[in-house]
Chain A
Amino acid sequence: MNRTRLFFGRWQNWLGLLLILVYVLVAIAAPYLSPDDPKGPGPFMQVGRPSEAKPSPPREGAPLGTLPRNVDVYHALVWGSRDALSFGLIVAVSTALFGILYGAFSGFVGGRVGSFMIRVADSFLAFPAIAGLVFLQQLYGTTVTALGGIYFEGQAIDFTGPASMIQYLLDHVDPLMLSLIALSWMPYARLVNSIVLTLKQTDFIQASRALGGNPFWIIRKHLLPNSTGPAMVLAARDVGGVVVFQATLTFINIGGGSVWGSMLAQGRNWILGPGGSLFTYWWAFLPPTLAVIVFGVAWNMFGDSLNDVLVPTTHETFRGQSFWNRKRMKDKTGSASEDQLPASMEAVLPLNPPAPVKKKSSVDGDDPVLHTAREDLSRGDLPRALHAYDYLIRHNRLIEQVLPDLAQLAKKYPRDPQVWQSLGDALTRAGQSGHATQSYDQARKLKQ
């Protein structure tokens, strides 16, 4: 099982998963870890007089101390992880689903409609989620007041007017959730779109189209399975990202309803104790801070590990069956689109670890054919060396090693058409058809 080995090969991978499991367990076991107060259910449980202004240290009944007004830190922390997980997962999964479908559809349709759809997605990139949230909430409030109700702190009070669309929508969905879903699907769409666009040119899709496959069947059966890997990586990172964002908005009092963010807002005046010590009232801000930070880091790490397993460019295990390699060989459009895909990938996946080439190079040194080729060269036997290189190129082996060798040869023997010919072959294999054509031209000129 290569995937499992790959996954557990790096300590960051299983650490991320482990941390997430901790959050999941805490979220599931919340009613047992910290039973709800039957008088006032909810994440903020009061364990004492609400008039207390100072946060009090850990004690019996409040294992992590309290915030001002005697709000139990432990209880809020435990129940907050339930909120955070469900919020993050719902947002990330619905965002990913919508983005993937949008991208797959626009890529499959292609042409003018497809590029218009991507145009629309690009326009969404210019819309900040914070503005979307405020906009939705204000529309709701305006509706309530215009119909004779009272709107106070995000709630409609005393309002029994005729139902409108926005009311129906926001009564069922959290406005922040809605605006995040509406405003963060674009990376998925762009990603899947570009993958589908290149996949469409491959033989197996062409074949199933020629066989009369239903377009939706082709999307579902061939295009989606091939493009969900990178999208899942994005989604895993998004879970952490949206929860941090939610906490941010709650902290600055724009909405969102994050428990951890609200804890930080309640404890923010107690970060610094007398004498400038950060640790006098540590329980007032450290637990929620750590909860938010570790949550984000864990999902990021998990995303990285999914990237190791699911995105085949980053390692060599999937050589021969991955779409990337297939594309590299089949790509006839030249190096422009070749560059474009990984670059845009990097743009959406800034954490993408670099391709580990270390393991491969140790194998390459032992490759007998490459070895002979280099030995022949050192003896000055150019034709034999070229023969060996041609063998490697023909079998698509070690092109990364062959290419620089040949490039240097071409500089050393610029008047030998055979060298240019082989260089052209190697460049074709590497997908750089533009440069390959130049080499072939050079070879032809020299032969004449």
Chain B
Amino acid sequence: MPPFLQFVIRRFMALPVSLLIITMILYGGVMLTPPEARASLYMPETKRNLTPEQIERLQENIIERYHLRDPYLVQYTLWAKTLFEGTWGYSPTLNEYVLPALLRRTPATLELALYSLLLLIPLGLVSGVKAGWRRRGLFDKGFRLLAFLSTSTPPFILAIVLLSIFYINLNWFAPGRVSLAYRLETLEESFIHYTGMLTIDGFLNGRIDIMGDVFRHLAMPVFTLSIYHWATLGRVARVSIIGEEKKEYVIAAKARGIRERRIVWRHIFRNALTPSLTSMTLSAASILTGVFVAEIIYDINGISTIIVNAMSGVPDAPAALGFAIYSVIMILLLMFMLDVLQAILDPRVREGVLKT
């Protein structure tokens, strides 16, 4: 088997282990509550039509059936089984089962995260490398100033400033996911949802106008998200470039008469990738948190609406738990993708020479 495939499989096998550890800890949190509260994780849809006595009986039934007074491991195993069976509990604030609600909202979140990553990874790497190669040069100074400014502006403050300038005042961009008129058109039968991501679907349906409108709504959140993480990534790339020019392989390349541009982008660039992408992997959780915050501020109906609902209505443990597990899965997948990207770009990683 080629080493790359081995790496991917080995890395993929690590995902369930992490998920197991996290769900065990999460259920440990659930164990802090009394059995009556735990029963709400299994409450069926019909709860609202019942009298208080009936609800009490139902609660007692659930406690019996799912052994909610038994030791932790018994409960955990039963609960973990229900995770695979599919609905993740009924959420009273959403009035539907948690898993379908999450899945339905995924494309919007994914779209936002995808465009942000597509923008920030190349930009961060290229500008960091450029700044690091000509250290103390004009580009480096500009880069450092900009990086300083963008890391010290909290994204939510940037977001409200952008909203008041570009939406309220100039009306160039808009919050939300898509304008109402286009939203109604996407609900029509003739509009086929291939991926759920409206930019791609709009393109595939031949509706460039819808695609453009969605991009108009995406511009501000994508910018808010990428500018912050761009600076962090660029800084790591910059630091990992500094010091490379004295390494032997660079001297050798120079001695062979290779042009500088080629040395930087063909030889040094690849060596700067590993620490940069590792830092991205480590901050994957904060990237996704940023996506959620951007969604809430820019009023995008992604998966974070679930927690907004849960916070404002009746207590909703199934939704909160489902949201936690779902975001963990998303982060694990993001980390996995970044690791694979790293392995594609850096042969040392996939051959296990570097331990990451």
Q: How far is the CA of A344 from the CA of B236 in the complex (A)?
A: 10
Given the complex of chains A and B, what is the CA–CA distance between A403 and B243 in angstroms? 13
Kindly state whether residue A88 has any CB partner on chain B within 8 Å: no
Q: Determine which of B156, B252, B274, B323 lies in contact with A134 in the assembled complex, contact meaning CB atoms within 8 Å.
A: B323
In-complex Cβ contact of A135 among B29, B59, B255 (8 A): B29
Partner of A348, one of B154, B165, B282, B331: B282
Contact of A142 among B25, B307, B315, B356 (CB under 8 A): B315
Are A128 and B279 in touch, CB under 8 angstroms? Answer: no
Give the docked Cα–Cα distance between A187 and B285 (Å).
13
User: Residue B83 at the A interface, CB < 8 A?
Assistant: no
**One of B14-22, B71-79, B200-208 contacting the partner:** B14-22
Verify A343–B293 contact, CB threshold 8 A.
Answer: no
CA distance in complex: A278, B163 (Å): 12
Task: Give the distance in Å from the alpha carbon of A140 to the alpha carbon of B236 in the complex.
Answer: 40
Does A346 lie within 8 Å of B32, measured CB to CB? Answer: no
Chain B CB within 10 Å, residue with most, of A253, A254, A268, A347: A347
Query: Among the interface residues B34, B232, B289, which one has the most CB atoms of the partner chain A within 10 A?
Result: B34
- If A119-B21, A138-B317, A340-B355 touch, whether A411 touches B285 (CB-CB below 8 Å) is no
A-contacting residues, B189-208, CB 8 Å: none
- Contact between A404 and B314 (Cβ–Cβ < 8 Å)? no
Q: Majority SS of interface residues in chain A?
A: helix
Q: Specify which chain B residues have a CB less than 8 angstroms from the CB of A343 in the assembled complex.
A: 240, 274-275, 278
Answer whether residue A40 sits at the interface, using C-beta atoms and an 8 A cutoff. Answer: no
| Set B252, B278, B293: member contacting A248, Cβ < 8 A | B293
| A293 in complex: contacting residue of B37, B157, B292, CB < 8 Å | B157
In the complex, chain A residues whose CB is within 8 Å of the CB of B310? 134, 138
B156–A143 touching, CB < 8 Å: no
Within 8 Å by CB of A128, from B165, B278, B285, lies: B285
Quick check: is B123 within 8 A (CB to CB) of the other chain?
Answer: no
For residue A271, CB closer than 8 A to chain B, the reply is yes
* Contact of B323 (CB < 8 Å), options: A131, A146, A352: A131
CA–CA, A164 to B37, complex, Å? 10
Question: How far apart are the CA atoms of A355 and B135 in the complex, in Å?
Answer: 12
Q: Is A380 engaged at the interface, CB distance under 8 Å to the other chain?
A: no
CB distance from A24 to the nearest CB of B (A): 20
**CB pairs A–B below 8 angstroms (13 shown):** A122-B18, A123-B21, A130-B292, A135-B26, A135-B324, A138-B321, A142-B317, A151-B314, A254-B307, A271-B164, A276-B168, A404-B246, A408-B251
- Given A343-B240, A350-B239, 19 extra CB contacts under 8 A: A128-B286, A131-B328, A132-B324, A136-B29, A141-B314, A142-B33, A146-B33, A146-B34, A162-B34, A166-B32, A169-B32, A254-B311, A343-B275, A346-B240, A350-B232, A351-B235, A354-B239, A355-B242, A411-B255
Chain A interface residues toward B at CB < 8 A: 119-120, 122-132, 134-147, 151, 162, 164-166, 169, 187, 244, 247-248, 251-255, 264, 268, 271-272, 276, 278, 285, 289, 292-293, 296-297, 300, 336-337, 339-340, 343-344, 346-348, 350-352, 354-355, 400, 403-404, 407-408, 411, 435
